[in-house]
Amino acid sequence: MAEIKLPKHVAIIMDGNGTWAKKRGLPRTLGHKKGSETLVEVAKMCSRRGIKYLTVYAFSTENWSRPKEEVDYLMGLPQAMLSRYEDDLMRDNIKLKFIGFREKLGKNITSIIDRVEEKTKNNDGMVLLVAFNYGARDEILEAAKSIASDVKNNKLEIDDITKEYFSSKLFTSGVPDVDLLIRTSNQIRISNFLLWQISYSELYFTNTLWPDFSEKDLDEALFAYNNRDRRYGGIKK
């Protein structure tokens, strides 16, 4: 029997919440609510399958331009979801980590994020990274500024700037690069998500709207990954 290749790190662009709601004549906020519930289930599925890292795109730095009512609802989701599911994270041995720019988030959001990150920091099962107020270009820009500052202050020599060192300055420091990137809702683009970390990722796009993303959809994505030939610029021997 051929060996099954599981990705160590899966990233998901969770698209289609608004479309899902519109098709049902519902407010977009209810689409986001259903999508957040889907996230909980998919995280548990990934954990059960032995996937070590799962990164999800929850709120981008560009999402601030959406209608105020929608943004306000999305800003309240972390507090509501973490209050409801933090015991599940402990029971399922999942470590939670938020990545993104926290300065613009309210104190209520950051305080509960800090608390749950601290509570789950010793869990040694799957690591769930939630990209919230995240943008890859800004992440790379901030890393470059930090490195420039280190050089300017004589903490670092130019020749010491390696790919590994640059990676250590990103929000995902210590986390391996993404093996499989999934995007739902038939949208075939990257949308400023983990641009450095997905350099050699396998990409998988599905028509399924995120709130409808099921165990079957996940397994189809994993099956597709299992059948890919990852060459990293080389050739198959």
Catalytic residue among 63, 123, 192, 226: 63
Q: What is the dihedral of CA 212, 79, 137, 153, to 10 degrees?
A: -150
- Active site (annotated) includes residue 15: yes
Tokens of 73: 């609802």
- Active site (annotated) includes residue 212: no
Residues 210/56, Cβ–Cβ less than 8 Å: no
Residues 180/225, Cβ–Cβ less than 8 Å: yes
C-alpha–C-alpha distance, residues 101 and 132, integer Å: 7
> Catalytic site residues?
15, 63
